[in-house]
Amino acid sequence: MNAYVITADRIATMTKAEGYGLIMGGAIVVDGAQMAWVGPLEALPASYAALPRRDFGPRTITPALIDCHTHLVYGGNRAGEFEMRLTGATYEEIARAGGGIISTVTATRTASEAALLAAALPRLDALIAQGVGVVEVKSGYGLDLDTELKMLRTARALGAARAVRVLTTFLGAHAVPDCMAADSYIDTICIPALRAAHAQGLVDAVDGFCEGIGFTPAQIARVFDVARALGLPVKLHAEQLSAFGGTALAAQYRALSADHVEYASADDAAALAAAGTVAVLLPGAFYTIRETQIPPIAAFRAHGVPMAVATDWNPGSSPLGSILLAMNMACTLFRLTPAEALAGTTRHAARALGLTDCGQIAANMRADLAIWDVTSPAELAYGIAVTPLHARIFGGVL
Ligand code: NIG
Ligand code: FE
């Protein structure tokens, strides 16, 4: 049996509805890619007593982190747009003038697959260096068949190149390409591209941008109907810039997640709770576009909506390469507790991706773990541009 025991002063199991599910003086039995037993060292069953041990002493062990919303694959960058916003233009104005997402589309279409991979790998490595074990990567900077497929293949190649799990999300309904009407784009490009990408095994979930500068709920519903017919789960960029009906639509389709949700209402929160849909908070985008509307955190709490936290790493609205900083921002900008922020990048992030085998430290879960040089888990969200990772275990491999 390829098994061993790890011990540490503190294990934040993240198995409880509130708090960290802390085990002091804890032990984890790793057997192959999974955990076989978790508990206080003093209760370690005799059958495991002779296994090799690795003691991490005063450190803290958490589940490996999960970044459940990224756009890691893209060509070019949007530093010029950043400069424009600093002289007064808004994110929405730049998008309506043909900049924004559409400018990244041009750069992504012209980039080779090898160039896209080479540009994305350091981004993935930055997340791995922060203890991340699962990353979701979206398409959506192609808006044509070939480029959407190229982006999704690149995302799959990222997962093959590193010890990390990459889940792919088809985001064909991200923006309306130049010189096209939204309805005809959905019917003649987006939906056929979704079918082709699914046929090639490139799609784990389907997303859209439901917004005045994106697509209407009715247009997104057409894409979701196809996703449903293909047996694919859905998620949605909803209520980011305005109250536009996306969150209600996501709940109606029992989406895995509704993301951004700054303009969601208390009724939206109730609908998400009833549907079992996760609210994914993206404070990096809130910060970058200098949004002032805070997501309805109190309503999410009151209704028991699980809240995940992610980077939304993308070249425009969230050039944020740090999941730990996303956690810090979720606390400082949205007033999450550090325990909620950590649940948001572990247990609830797993759920936002439809994963049931990670995001918690418990028997039969994958042995995806992060070992931190901190003496309380609150330090993870507290530090700003601090990365106290000591080691990461992925699939049982240290
Ligand atoms: O999650 N809101 C739409 N999509 C991205 C932005 C992408 C971009 O600006 O390039 C987001 O914020
Ligand atoms: Fe996004």
pLDDT digits (tens, 9 = 90+) for 277-320: 999 999 999 999 999 999 999 999 999 999 999 999 999 999 99
Helix/strand/coil for 227: helix
CATH number at residue 292: 3.20.20.140
Least distant ligand from the CA of 235: 2
Residue 157 clears pLDDT 80, i.e. is over it: yes
The total of structural domains in the chain comes to 2
Whether 57 and 160 share a structural domain: no
Average pLDDT of every residue of the chain: 98
What mean pLDDT comes out for the span 164-191?
Answer: 97
Same domain, 263 and 125: yes
User: Does 185 share its domain with 38?
Assistant: no
CB 71 within 8 A of CB 105: no
Work out the angle at residue 329's Cα, subtended by the Cα atoms of residues 327 and 332, and round it to the nearest 5 degrees.
115
What percentage of residues in the chain have a pLDDT greater than 90? 98
Answer whether residue 398 is part of any domain. no
Rounded CA-CA distance 217/396 in Å is: 43
**pLDDT tens digits, residue range 253-271?**
999 999 999 999 999 999 9
Lowest mean pLDDT among 97-101, 169-173, 219-223, 269-273: 97-101
Residues 6+ away with beta carbon under 8 Å from 119: 73, 74, 75, 111
Atom number in ligand 1 closest to CA 69: 1
Closest listed residue to residue 383, CA positions, set 188, 22, 130? 130
CA torsion sign for 40, 20, 11, 64 is positive
- From the CA of 211, give the closest atom in ligand 1: 2
What pLDDT is stored for residue 98 in this prediction? 84
Residue 41, SS3? helix
d(CA 361, CA 63): 6
Contact 351/108 with Cβ under 8 angstroms?
no
Mean pLDDT of 179-200: 98
pLDDT tens digits along 6-61: 999 999 999 999 999 999 999 999 999 999 999 999 999 999 999 999 999 999 99
Domain that holds residue 21: 4-63+361-393
Is the separation of the CB atoms in 390 and 56 below 8 Å?
Answer: yes
Mean pLDDT for 229-256 is 98
**Residues surrounding ion ligand 2 at CB below 5 Å:** 312
Together in a domain, 278 and 345: yes
Kindly report the protein residue whose alpha carbon is nearest to atom 1 of ligand 1. 312
Q: 139 and 47 share a domain?
A: no
Which tokens go with 209? 């941008």
**CA atoms of 179 and 174, how far apart (whole Å):** 15
Residue minimizing CA distance to atom 8 of ligand 1: 316
In a shared domain, residues 236 and 270: yes
Establish if 378 belongs to a structural domain.
yes
Q: What is the CATH number of the domain that holds 16?
A: 2.30.40.10
Is the domain of 51 the same as that of 140?
no
Is residue 72 one of the residues assigned to a domain? Answer: yes
Residue 202 placed within a domain:
yes
* One domain, residues 306 and 264: yes
| Alpha carbon 193 to its chain's center | 23
Residue 29 to residue 6: CA distance in whole angstroms: 7
370 domain residue, yes or no: yes
Same domain, 55 and 186: no
Alpha helices in the chain (DSSP H): 79-86, 91-96, 101-110, 113-128, 145-161, 182-185, 191-199, 217-230, 246-252, 266-275, 283-288, 297-303, 323-334, 338-344, 347-352, 379-382
Query: What atom of ligand 1 comes closest to residue 285's alpha carbon?
Result: 12
DSSP 207: E
Same domain (yes/no): 232, 272 = yes
The reply to whether 326 falls in a domain is yes
CB atoms within 10 A of CB 335: 11
* pLDDT for the residue numbered 1: 53
CA distance 194 to 200: 10
Q: How far apart are CA 72 and CA 126, in angstroms?
A: 11
Let me know: does 255 contact 285? Beta carbons within 8 Å. no
- Residue 328 falls inside a structural domain: yes
**Domain-embedded: residue 289:** yes
Distance from C-alpha of 144 to C-alpha of 46, rounded to nearest angstrom:
59
Shared domain for 385 and 238, answered yes or no, is: no
Are residues 205 and 157 both part of a single domain? yes
For ligand 1, residues with CB inside 6 Å are 71, 100-101, 104, 209, 237, 240, 285, 312, 314-318
User: Ligand 1: which atom is nearest the Cα of residue 100?
Assistant: 9
- Alpha carbon of 140 to ligand 1 centroid (Å): 9
Of the pLDDT bands very low, low, confident and very high (cuts 50, 70, 90), residue 339 is: very high
The residue length of the chain stands at 398
Long-range contacts at 186-192 (CB < 8 A, ≥ 24 apart): 186/215, 186/219, 186/222, 186/223, 187/222, 189/143, 189/144, 189/145, 190/143, 190/223, 191/222, 191/223, 191/226, 192/145
Q: Which residues contact 148 (CB under 8 A, 6 or more apart)?
A: 139, 140, 142, 170, 172, 193, 197
- Whole-model pTM: value is 0.98
